[in-house]
Amino acid sequence: MTMQTAAAVSPQGLISRALWHNRVLVSLVILHLCSALITCYVLDVPFDSGTIPTLITLLKTLVPLFVIFLMFWRFGYMAMVVRPARPSQWFIADIRENALNGERLANGVVGFLAISVFAGTFAVLKDLVPLINPFSWDPYFAQLDQTLHGGYAPYELLMPLLGSPLITTIINAAYHFWFFLLYFIVFMTSFDRDNAVRRNSFLIAMVLTWVIGGNLLAAIFSSAGPVYYEVLGYGSEFVPLLDKLHEFAEISPVWALDVHAMLIDGYLNDGPVKGISAMPSMHVASAVMMACFGFSWRKWAGWLLVAFAIVIQLGSVHLAWHYAIDGYFGAIIGLVCWYVACKLAEWQG
């Protein structure tokens, strides 16, 4: 649809088209919302999460940053690739065509808003995991990890490779960057009009991965992770890892330790931010899903995101968030959900 045609369509018409083009995504988000409301009703708990205000604040910060970044990226593209005779006119026309296109804006807003609503609903259900099924799987996963890794805890095998303050800080930075990257891809994809199937595949995969992995399986295989192993009374197997992380933090920042403390405070003292859940690793699951998306766009992007997913897997173990098996399982979930999402996106058309 050209810009002139889109301009002729009423706002209500644009929204109707956008809802139709996002019908699978919107339907999944509505079903998830209904499930969360029913779960809260059955458990007699409020439909609320202390994580939601944090998410809203982050999105208020990130969305303007995304827009500014894209403006600079298009300017660089113009200067280095297009090199038009009249740069100002080209840049203004580019903004009008890409940023002010009614069809694109409506489709993007519906897609991004759907994911934003889903993120809040997901946070509500994640907080309820230990209420639905108290943490009990940690000893099993810790033992399975040792069995799969020759009798060693995976962090012991990684310590000679990753056990330095600087490397730990770099890995922790990558682990935190994951959030920015995930939502940047969500933002970019929501407004993508070049390939509808690829766009819808990613957004649908986003919902499927987090519902199946982060809500359903997290509740079935309820576990807290190595960092809380001793706190839950399972033993001191991971105390050496935590001691090492605190030792590193005296030399170079290890921000994960602050998040460790914040989440356990939420769990033990009903603090504002809760959401402890280890199996499966949603960091790894979503990183693998992003890699699949990368391959659907450019091969080099796919391999770059594969490397990032490996770093996230290593970091999930090294920073005491997860048992290695959490990441292996998460990777499988990411792959399967991407495959299913592609089929749903092709069916939607």
Per-residue confidence (pLDDT) for residue 92, from 0 to 100: 84
CA 258 to chain centre: 20
User: When comparing pLDDT for 125 and 79, which is higher?
Assistant: 125
Would you state the pLDDT for residue 27? Answer: 96
Q: Rounded to two decimals, what is the model's pTM?
A: 0.90
Does 270 fall in a domain? yes
In-domain check, residue 296: yes
| pLDDT the model gives residue 4 | 43
pLDDT digits (tens, 9 = 90+) for 77-105: 888 888 888 888 888 887 887 777 778 88
Alpha-helical segments (H) within the chain: 3-8, 11-21, 23-43, 51-77, 87-98, 102-127, 129-132, 138-148, 154-162, 165-190, 196-209, 218-220, 239-249, 256-269, 282-297, 299-318, 324-348
With a cut of 90, say whether residue 345 has pLDDT above it.
Answer: yes
Summarised one tens digit per residue, pLDDT across range 282-291 is 999 999 999 9
In a domain, 186, yes or no: yes
130-153 pLDDT, tens digit per residue, is 999 999 999 999 999 999 999 999
Residue ranges making up the domain that contains 255: 23-68+106-348
Mean pLDDT, range 206-221, rounded to an integer: 96
Residue 147 belongs to some domain of the structure: yes
Give one DSSP letter per residue of 29-53, joined into a string. Answer: HHHHHHHHHHHHHHHT--S--THHH
Report pLDDT digits (tens) over 249-294. Answer: 999 999 999 999 999 988 888 777 788 999 999 999 999 999 999 9
| pLDDT (0 to 100) of residue 304 | 97
Q: Is residue 308 part of a domain?
A: yes
Segment 19-64, tens digit of pLDDT: 889 999 999 999 999 999 999 999 999 988 877 887 788 788 888 8
Residue 8 confidence (pLDDT): 60
Residue 209: pLDDT above 70? Answer: yes
Alpha-carbon distance of 140 to 65, in angstroms, equals 43
Determine the Cα–Cα distance for residues 225 and 145; give it in Å rounded to an integer.
12
* pLDDT digit string, tens, across residues 159-188: 999 999 999 999 999 999 999 999 999 999
Q: For residue 321, is it within any domain?
A: yes
Number of structural domains, the chain? 1
Residue environment code for 160-176, b if the CB has 16+ CB neighbours within 10 A, otherwise e = eebbebeebbebbebbe
Per-residue pLDDT averaged across 219-225, rounded? 96
Angle between helices 324-348 and 299-318 (to 10 degrees): 150
Decide if 84 is inside a domain: no
Flag whether 344 is in a domain: yes
What is the Cα–Cα distance from 123 to 195, expressed in whole angstroms? Answer: 30
